[in-house]
Chain A
Amino acid sequence: MSFPIADNLVLNDYYHAPYSRGLQRNDAAIRTDAERTVEKYDIRTPSAMVSAETLSGGNQQKVIVAREFEGEVKLLVLEQPTRGLDVGSIEFIHRQAVARRDTGVAILLVSAELDEVLELSDRIAVMYRGRIVEILDGRTADKEDVGLLMATGGRGSGIQEPLAEVAS
């Protein structure tokens, strides 16, 4: 947090090229790449060298998202990636997530926003009491199905099961 945005952005990659030359950090490369990333992810800051703790929460989150999205990865776990962000940023992060998917990155999205889950996911796994109860197709799943599965762990039988438990 106290470090410049640029340092935060290279946290996972600081030790190899192009950010490091032997023992020495390549500050020029770190800085130009950070400036590019700040531009690309629309991080609102006077410069890539200001400390990350001076940013608003939403912009801090964008820094983290940018760092993870820009890395060379096979799997991305996104937990509440857009929480607290403004509409434009949410839209942007969603588009980036889909773009990463299209390049072959597996993405596991964990979110409390049902709309986000329904909009982005190819497949939706619904958990109830710590277990996955059903995996739905993202194109056909609707809010009611997902909501029912989340609340009761099943469909149709509806509300009886939890009620029965309360009774016993």
Chain B
Amino acid sequence: MIARVRAVALVPALSVLLALLVGAVIMILTSPLVTGEFSLVLPLQAYAAMLGGAFGSLDAVVNTLVNATPLVLAGLAVGIGFKGGLFNIGAQGQFLIGALAATTVALALNDASPVVAIPAAVIAGMIGGAAWGFIPGALKAYTGAHEVVVTIMLNFVALAVLSWAVSGPLHGDNVVFSRTNDIEAAALPIIIGRNGHLGILFAAAAVPIASWLLYRSTTGFEIRTTGANPDAARYAGMRPRRVIILTMALSGLFAGLAGTTEILGEVGFLSAGYATDVGFDAIAVALLGRAHPVGILFAALLFGAMQAGAGAMQIQADLPVQMVDVLQAVILLFITADVIVRRVFRVRESAGELVELASVSRSYGGDRAA
């Protein structure tokens, strides 16, 4: 067990380490712009500030958790897709549609009791996301349309639908900008610190639920078998079309829940210019977490911590917050080009590792449709 964890987690961990080193080099090279001269200690200051901003106080830790919450949920969405041999780039779109569905129901129930409004809005958000995942799943199952292409396009459609809804039917009463009224009854209560909303618990619960779903349920066995070997799945009497659609819908459900918690817990209203990259960061999270729910949890906490610490880094080390984007991108680069990491640290490939990401590479090529 320990050996297995080590085999699977080693390369991601080393990738993060290597990315921090590359980040340090970039900081040193650009340090004249910050301090006026080359500074070798700037990376240390920056990382220390980031660490403090992410874990230095209760509010900092809560901030990390709040940032990690949508990444956990959307990361699980992408990870479930990977397990089923599907590359769901559409977590972003499913996130937005989930947010829109939840907001719609939440606004309709603004005068109701939170006991009614919160579950109703959350369920609506999950259904919205699942529906948005169902579309590329059905298209793939019945026409062979590749889910990567379809989900990317549906991301744009989702954004357009959201803009229309927010500037039209859901437009707020006394607001100038294209945004909805504030969500009241369905707003997730703060359970810890300054902004630690209930969604944190949703994310915490989603990890074991996704684990159970993938590794303990018969449905998960069908998803994993179809992902690992569609021919074997068909031979065993599984219905690949059904499994593909179900996988995408489940994936969308988690992404939709991510959007729901973000709007109900963090933002409090929906606006046409709602800018978020959660759906795309989730792909990096799922890859870094090796598509395993526990791995995704840790990956999301790491990204959440970096985002939470970005502000402190900017204030204390005078580095722009975008440095965190650079770090995330470099981590992603090393994860996908793991040959580099293996060369640098002289790590051999192990069988267990290949499996986890096999579906990622395979989903690009070959005929996988039912």
Contact = CB atoms under 8 A, between A and B. Distances in A.
Interface string A22-34: 0111010000000
Interface string B209-227: 0001000111111001100
Contacts of A27: 216
A11 interface: yes
A20 B218 contact: yes
Interface stretch (A1-9, A83-91, A114-122, A141-149): A1-9
Contacts of B218: 14-15, 20, 23-25
A47 interface: no
B237 interface: yes
A111 interface: no
Contacts of B236: 11-12, 14
Contact of B355 (A7, A15, A23, A51): A51
B221 to A, nearest CB: 6
B237 A23 contact: no
A138 to B, nearest CB: 30
A23 B220 CA distance: 10
B216 A25 contact: yes
A80 interface: no
B175 interface: no
Contacts of A14: 218, 221, 236
Nearest to B356: A2
Interface string B237-253: 10000000000000000
A27 B354 CA distance: 24
Main secondary structure of the interface of B (DSSP, over half): helix
Interface in B341-370: 351-352, 354-355, 358
Interface residues of B, number: 20
B358 A2 contact: yes
A60 to B, nearest CB: 13
Interface string B194-233: 0000000000000000001000111111001100110010
Interface string A119-132: 00000000000000
A23 B232 contact: no
A56 interface: no
B355 A25 contact: no
Interface residues of A, number: 16
A51 B7 CA distance: 14
Most chain A beta-carbon neighbours within 10 Å: one of B216, B221, B355 = B221
A15 B7 CA distance: 31
Given A11-B236, A25-B216, A2 B221 contact: no
A128 B81 CA distance: 48
A14 B224 CA distance: 13
Contact of A3 (B228, B235, B354): B228
Contacts of B221: 7, 14, 25
A54 B354 CA distance: 13
Contact of A11 (B219, B220, B225): B225
Interface in A68-126: none
Nearest to A50: B351
Given A2-B358, A23-B219, A27-B216, A53 B351 contact: yes
Contacts of A12: 236-237
B351 A24 contact: no
A24 B220 CA distance: 9
Nearest to B236: A11
A27 B225 CA distance: 16
A20 B222 CA distance: 12
A24 B216 contact: yes
Contacts of A7: 221, 225
Contacts of A24: 212, 216-218
Nearest to A10: B221
Contacts of A51: 351-352, 355
A25 B216 CA distance: 5
B356 to A, nearest CB: 9
Contacts of B229: 1
A27 B224 CA distance: 15
Interface in A54-72: 54
Contacts of B358: 2
Contacts of B216: 24-25, 27
10 closest cross-chain pairs (CB), A and B: A2-B355, A11-B236, A20-B218, A23-B217, A15-B218, A2-B228, A14-B221, A25-B218, A12-B236, A24-B216
Interface of A: 1-3, 7, 11-12, 14-15, 20, 23-25, 27, 51, 53-54
